[in-house]
Chains A and B, each alone.
Chain A
Amino acid sequence: MTDKSEREFSGGKEDWDVAAQLAENCSEFKADDEDEIVADEPVSCYNCRFRRWTRDSFVCCK
């Protein structure tokens, strides 16, 4: 949990495989603008427009 009581991804910013697996199984995934894409896997929480980056990871806003 973050300071704002949001659920934060426990894998941090470099757990590429898990971020991709989670997104593959998420019906809410939607790719962000091209300029905000950081993962090479097209479908990844790291590339999702509903993720909000935090200092150590991200939170899902859906």
Chain B
Amino acid sequence: MRILVSIDDTDTMKTDSGEVRGTGELAQLIMQEVENRGWGKCDPITRHQLLVHPDIPYTSHNSAMCFEAEFDYNKLSYLINFASDFLTSESAPDSDPGLCVAVNDRISRPGWLIGFGYMAKNIILTKEQAYDLAEKLDIHLSEHGGTGQGVIGALAGAGLRLGGNDGRYKGKLKIKNEDNLITAGEICAQGKIDLVKCLDEGITLNDDDLVILGDHIKPVRLYGKSVLLVSRIAADNTRPQWQTCSKKQLKDF
């Protein structure tokens, strides 16, 4: 079965007196543990931006981290117990961590969960609203310290991941190539990217379209896939016509 694991609000503002692990790093460690213990096989983590508003007590950027996994149903309670203990012990002091674990095909109203995710990007939501929806949809939602406010983002992150059209993947991608030139088909053949698309025009590149690789290769999540966005650099038929998007161009994903 497929599951969603989403966490939020595990860190505090970093100080130079000590390193604080970010939410993405904690999600990565949970993911590694799932695979090391043989509980399941995980897909890459996505980061989902939520609303930044003066009335929301986020740390510095208010984003949730989520991954999907093909998971052994018999181990579900082990995962929830492990992740709960892990967040309790590893989250930063003064943080407000939340954990969401959802079984994809048991979500009776996926649209409600996806809708909650998009609401969390646009309006202020409450813990009560999050718990109420999680109960209706039989989704595990729990808090592990502080105010527990992170349950809102954790549930929203699961919804946004499930929706398939939000967020950017954690980490930078390495694509093997020579001289930073590669075709869209070769990019997809390496297995980490499903589609290469133009950011502005929305078109999907043909397999033989040449792409210049920048130093920042980060896929985003669109259509439920890992999508590498590129921008056009030449309007005529001189090749190559495309280059990977910069950090600035991807900041709103």
User: Which residues of A does B touch, CB under 8 Å?
Assistant: 2-4, 16, 28, 30, 32-40, 49-55, 61
- Interface: B119 (CB within 8 A): no
Contact at A3–B54, with CB atoms within 8 Å?
A: yes
Contact at A2–B14, with CB atoms within 8 Å?
A: no
Known A33-B24, A39-B247, A39-B248; judge A50-B54 contact (CB<8 A).
Answer: no
- Interchain CA distance A16-B54 in the complex, whole Å: 23
Contact at A38–B248, with CB atoms within 8 Å?
A: yes
- Interchain CA distance A4-B60 in the complex, whole Å: 15
Contact at B53–A52, with CB atoms within 8 Å?
A: no
Contact at A49–B14, with CB atoms within 8 Å?
A: yes
A-B contact count (CB 8 A): 55
Contact at B171–A35, with CB atoms within 8 Å?
A: yes
Number of B positions contacting A (CB below 8 A): 25
Closest Cβ of chain B to A53, distance in Å, is: 5
Chain A neighbourhood of B24, CB < 8 A: 33, 35
Sort A-B residue pairs by CB-CB distance and give the 3 closest, nearest first.
Answer: A38-B251, A33-B22, A52-B60
Closest Cβ of chain A to B58, distance in Å, is: 8
Most buried by A among B52, B54, B60, B62: B60
Other-chain residue from B22, B52, B168, B251 in contact with A55 (beta carbon distance below 8 A): B52
- Interface: B144 (CB within 8 A): no
- Interchain CA distance A49-B21 in the complex, whole Å: 12
- Interchain CA distance A36-B253 in the complex, whole Å: 11
Chain A neighbourhood of B216, CB < 8 A: 40
Chain A neighbourhood of B170, CB < 8 A: 35
Chain A neighbourhood of B22, CB < 8 A: 33, 35-36
- Interchain CA distance A62-B13 in the complex, whole Å: 10
- Interface: B25 (CB within 8 A): yes
Contact string, B157-189, partner A, CB cutoff 8 A, digits 1/0?
000000000001011100000000000000000
- Interface: B246 (CB within 8 A): yes
- Interchain CA distance A40-B53 in the complex, whole Å: 25
Contact at A34–B172, with CB atoms within 8 Å?
A: yes
Contact at B60–A51, with CB atoms within 8 Å?
A: yes
Chain B neighbourhood of A39, CB < 8 A: 247-248
Other-chain residue from A2, A32, A38, A61 in contact with B54 (beta carbon distance below 8 A): A2
Other-chain residue from B13, B171, B247 in contact with A38 (beta carbon distance below 8 A): B247
Contact string, B9-53, partner A, CB cutoff 8 A, digits 1/0?
000011010000010110000000000000000000001000011
What are 24 pairs between A and B in contact, CB < 8 Å? Answer: A2-B54, A3-B54, A28-B16, A33-B22, A34-B171, A34-B172, A35-B22, A35-B168, A35-B171, A38-B248, A38-B250, A39-B248, A40-B247, A40-B248, A49-B14, A50-B13, A50-B14, A51-B60, A53-B52, A53-B60, A54-B52, A54-B54, A55-B53, A61-B60
